[in-house]
Amino acid sequence: MSVDGADAALDLRLAGFAVAAWLAALAGLHLGVQALAGLAAVAVALVLVVALGLRAGRHRPVEPLRRYGWIAVAVLLGALCGAAATGARLAVRDAAPVRALVAERALVTAELVVRDDPRPVRGAPGRSTMLLVRVDLLRLTGPDGGRLTGPVRGLVLATDPGWRGLLPGQRVTTRGRLAEPRGGDLTAAVLSVTGPPTRQGRASWPQRAAGTLRSGLQRACEPLPDAPGGLLPGLVVGDTSRLPPEVEEDFRATGMTHLNAVSGSNVAIVVGAVLLLARWARAGPRTAAGFCVLALVGFVILVRPSPSVVRAAAMGAIGLAALAAGRSRAALPALAAAIAALVLLDPELAGDPGFALSVCATGGLLLFAPGWRDALRRRGVPVGLAEALAVPAAAQLACGPVIAGMSATVSLVAVPANLLAVPAVAPATVLGVLAAVLSPVWPGGAEFLAWLASWPARWLVTVAAHGAVLPAGTLPWVGGVVGALLLAVVSVALLLAARRRRARRLVAAVVVAVVLGALPVRLLASGWPPRGWVVVACAVGQGDALVLPVATGRAVVVDAGPEPSGVDACLRRLGIREVPLLVVSHFHVDHVGGVAGVFRGRRVGAVVSPPWPEPAYGVAQVREAARRGGASLAPAPAGWRWGQGAVRLVAVGPPYPLRGSRSDPNNNSLVLTATVSGVRILLAGDAETEEQRAVRETLPADAIRADVLKVAHHGSAYQDPEFLAAVRPAVALVCVGVDNDYGHPHPALLGRLARGGARVVRTDTDGDVAAVRTATGLAVAVRGAAPGRPR
């Protein structure tokens, strides 16, 4: 009900309560119990003051004052409840016995319950099978035999494949070492384990049923091509284990990532299909409602009743009910109640980006979509098309500030890409759900339904692939909270302006002027790559990716960084469409983790790598990428040569295998000399002191003399001073990640290079960096750090 009982369409008291509870929980997660206690005390005092003020003025009621006074009371009560709920959870998290064991990094025996599906940790150096498992720690037995009882929340980092098959709700025992969590949530400890878990009993029947149906869906998708076959389980149940990395990156670039996670829209599609079927069968309202409830419960069981799924079910049910009733404003109290209940039951949701996106998308669906749909219908747009246009536009508008704050970009292709995706999402989801349900009893029928569902899934893959390669598809924006608030203010201002005809015309004129004026400049005169460039070091985080131009649109790539998206984006910025040669200096993940990004949308002629076959996970990753891309793979021993176009390469190291060094994979990195348009470049991989010394002692000094040096191992301290003196570079490129944990680059090394006359440029502070050949000599061009990137 409303504040005065007359306006049932909008209840700001409940909305204020929910938002205040949310913000109080978020503040508590980051500030701690003491700050929450102060917040609660202030809230109690203000509640008393406002309530006494309203009571004192009850004989002279002023309606606006009365209305907003009760809204203020609701906000203060929400802050008080959020602080109390979060404070109680933080007290458990920060209990002294647990903190003592964590501080000691104690080796413990733990009894725990799995809370969510084990997930692989992407880019974990040296641990290709590392899994992250969210758990409730029920009991910890310390090294002295003392026992601590929970439950408290924890994270398990496991390398044994026995953890992969665990189901949520499974109770296990394991042994491992405790470590500090990163903070900002309710996790009390991180438990690192190397052995398999010991299972205690079986998971609950809903979890076992979900596991059977999910594995049946995966089997039904096995005959399909990789892209649609990997996407379909993601659309239906959020299982992206088979999704190719390039497809995942395309979805991220086009703002379609939400399709790969279980959200309120999945619930709305499934339950909406059941509702339409019930109405077609002329079932009564109660019968239809009963079928919808059964469908909702069944879908939650299918995708596993984890907290994120329960959240999605709540949001989807609210959105579906609002659209079915045609009274979106009346659903605001229901949405506010769901937010408040979920945050008070699990305060950790307050810091979950997925929760924020679900709430924003549902709010946009409720507040904007019906009005926009009706406005389009009044202008003659067909009903189905009006719905298809209004829903994704409203969701994107509401989610835009959150996405901008997280990514420091504003996508220009997200709305059109999602509009094009709308017709395919519902049939793919419904057919995929039917395939999963049918798989235990009729595998052949499940495969047929999966084949039917693969066609709309192929359309989604096509939309994402084409949207990801559009130039100027994203614009830089301010990151963090400031960026989110700024875009929210801009969005609200545009909505208010659109209510007036003159303002609408002015906004339209400004948008057209910006697009016509700025877009051609961005496309044709971006200034990157600079004219005469001979090498570019890509800003890919803590890893290496270098590009040597062979001809227009063609280049040699040396290493691929830790993630596919980074090197792919860098190659797109350089306009590289073909890679005649991909060189892998060695097989650590910070050099090969992004190898799929080099192949994305490009023909790769050949791949060469060092003879040293370690670590094995990196070798397997490169071999698989080469196989899927149709490229040959061969070792490049010392003395190997290659030339094409403007590029000449020679392998000068390692001169012989080095064993027993500080890091054998690093000290067996390929060390290459490259000549590009007359400029000599030394690419040192991750060679450390031992390999640098071996190269220096084996080769004459002029063989490693270079104008440009790619500094070895991200500028680590393990450098041979005499090797650096022999190279004597004019430009030193340091490929390094922002705020890395290794202390790279080492200040003493940077000082030595500068004293030797080198111009030092770094990818963490300068973004993509290039060495440029000019008429007067060698110069440096930098693209600049990405917006929001710390310097």
C-beta separation of 715 from 724 below 8 A? no
Any idea which of 71-85, 146-160, 326-340 has the lowest mean pLDDT? 326-340
**Buried b or exposed e, range 379-416, using 16+ CB within 10 angstroms:** eebeeeebbbbbbbbbbbbbbbbbbbbbbbbbbbbbbb
C-beta separation of 167 from 110 below 8 A? no
The pLDDT score that the predictor gives to residue 215 is 85
* Tokens (6 digits) for 191: 């438990």
Backbone angles phi, psi at 25, to 5 degrees: -65, -40
* 218 burial via Cβ count (<10 Å: 0-12, 13-18, 19+): buried
What would the 3-class secondary structure string for 624-674 be?
A: HHHHHHCCEEEECCCCCEEEECCEEEEEEECCCCCCCCCCHHHHCCCEEEE
Could you tell me which residue, 148 or 218, shows the higher pLDDT?
Answer: 218
Q: Can you tell me the distance from the alpha carbon of 501 to that of 725, in angstroms, rounded to the nearest whole number? A: 70
User: Residue 485 CB: number of other CB atoms within 10 A?
Assistant: 14
C-beta separation of 560 from 582 below 8 A? yes
C-beta separation of 649 from 674 below 8 A? yes
Provide the 3-class DSSP secondary structure of residue 272.
helix
The pLDDT score that the predictor gives to residue 82 is 86
The pLDDT score that the predictor gives to residue 84 is 86
- Amino acid identity of residue 481, one-letter, is V
C-beta separation of 156 from 177 below 8 A? no
User: Residue 241 CB: number of other CB atoms within 10 A?
Assistant: 12
Tell me the mean pLDDT in the region 773-782.
89
The pLDDT score that the predictor gives to residue 7 is 38
Backbone angles phi, psi at 120, to 5 degrees: -70, 145
Task: List pLDDT tens digits, range 41-96.
Answer: 665 666 565 555 555 555 454 455 555 666 777 888 888 888 888 888 888 888 88
Any idea which of 102-106, 267-271, 457-461 has the lowest mean pLDDT? 267-271
pLDDT band at residue 120 under the 50/70/90 scheme: confident
Any idea which of 393-402, 445-454, 762-771 has the lowest mean pLDDT? 393-402
The pLDDT score that the predictor gives to residue 5 is 38
- Closest to 629 measured CA to CA, from 648, 611, 606: 606
Residues 6+ apart with CB under 8 A from 208: 167, 202
C-beta separation of 94 from 33 below 8 A? yes
Any idea which of 40-54, 184-198, 577-591, 597-611 has the lowest mean pLDDT? 40-54
Dihedral of alpha carbons 18, 21, 27, 28, sign: negative
Please state the pTM of the whole predicted model. 0.69
Any idea which of 61-75, 254-268, 532-546, 607-621 has the lowest mean pLDDT? 61-75
Tell me the mean pLDDT in the region 261-285.
71
Residue indicated by tokens 């009371």: 73
Q: Can you tell me the distance from the alpha carbon of 473 to that of 429, in angstroms, rounded to the nearest whole number? A: 27
Asked if the model's pLDDT at residue 322 lies above 70, the reply is: no
Residues 6+ apart with CB under 8 A from 199: 166, 170, 171, 172
- Amino acid identity of residue 429, one-letter, is T
Asked if the model's pLDDT at residue 264 lies above 50, the reply is: yes
User: Residue 785 CB: number of other CB atoms within 10 A?
Assistant: 18
Asked if the model's pLDDT at residue 626 lies above 70, the reply is: yes
Strands 554-558 and 641-644: what pairing?
unpaired
Residues 6+ apart with CB under 8 A from 156: 112, 131, 132, 133, 134, 135, 163, 174, 176, 190, 191, 192, 193
The pLDDT score that the predictor gives to residue 683 is 96
Task: List pLDDT tens digits, range 480-527.
Answer: 778 778 888 887 777 777 677 776 667 667 666 655 555 555 544 456
The pLDDT score that the predictor gives to residue 9 is 43
The pLDDT score that the predictor gives to residue 236 is 82
- Closest to 41 measured CA to CA, from 89, 72, 87, 95: 87
Asked if the model's pLDDT at residue 615 lies above 60, the reply is: yes
Provide the 3-class DSSP secondary structure of residue 152.
strand
- Amino acid identity of residue 654, one-letter, is P
Q: Can you tell me the distance from the alpha carbon of 789 to that of 544, in angstroms, rounded to the nearest whole number? A: 18
The pLDDT score that the predictor gives to residue 504 is 62
Task: List pLDDT tens digits, range 291-311.
Answer: 777 777 777 777 766 555 666
Q: Can you tell me the distance from the alpha carbon of 236 to that of 299, in angstroms, rounded to the nearest whole number? A: 10
Residues 6+ apart with CB under 8 A from 521: none
List the beta bridge partners of residue 772: 533, 779
Asked if the model's pLDDT at residue 336 lies above 60, the reply is: yes
Task: List pLDDT tens digits, range 406-461.
Answer: 767 777 777 788 778 878 888 888 898 889 889 999 999 999 999 999 999 999 99
Tell me the mean pLDDT in the region 129-154.
83
Asked if the model's pLDDT at residue 693 lies above 70, the reply is: yes
Helix runs in 134-263, H state only? 205-221, 226-237, 245-253
Provide the 3-class DSSP secondary structure of residue 733.
strand
Any idea which of 152-166, 511-525, 766-780 has the lowest mean pLDDT? 511-525
* Tokens (6 digits) for 260: 């790969």
* 591 burial via Cβ count (<10 Å: 0-12, 13-18, 19+): buried
Strands 578-583 and 554-558: what pairing?
parallel
Any idea which of 37-41, 284-288, 622-626 has the lowest mean pLDDT? 37-41
Quick one: how far is CA 16 from the chain centroid? 30
The pLDDT score that the predictor gives to residue 772 is 94
Q: Can you tell me the distance from the alpha carbon of 206 to that of 210, in angstroms, rounded to the nearest whole number? A: 6
Asked if the model's pLDDT at residue 11 lies above 70, the reply is: no
Q: Can you tell me the distance from the alpha carbon of 738 to that of 291, in angstroms, rounded to the nearest whole number? A: 52
Q: Can you tell me the distance from the alpha carbon of 4 to that of 401, in angstroms, rounded to the nearest whole number? A: 33
Provide the 3-class DSSP secondary structure of residue 19.
helix
| CA distance to 11, 543, 716, 746, per residue, from 740 (Å) | 47, 10, 12, 12
Could you tell me which residue, 406 or 592, shows the higher pLDDT?
Answer: 592
Residues 6+ apart with CB under 8 A from 539: 566, 570, 763, 764, 766, 767, 768, 769, 783, 785, 786
The pLDDT score that the predictor gives to residue 167 is 83
Asked if the model's pLDDT at residue 577 lies above 80, the reply is: yes
User: Residue 476 CB: number of other CB atoms within 10 A?
Assistant: 13
Residues 6+ apart with CB under 8 A from 787: 408, 409, 476, 477, 478, 479
C-beta separation of 676 from 534 below 8 A? yes
Q: Can you tell me the distance from the alpha carbon of 364 to that of 35, in angstroms, rounded to the nearest whole number? A: 32
Could you tell me which residue, 477 or 35, shows the higher pLDDT?
Answer: 477
pLDDT band at residue 128 under the 50/70/90 scheme: very low
Backbone angles phi, psi at 172, to 5 degrees: -140, 165
* Tokens (6 digits) for 523: 């496309």
Any idea which of 111-125, 149-163, 173-187, 374-388 has the lowest mean pLDDT? 111-125
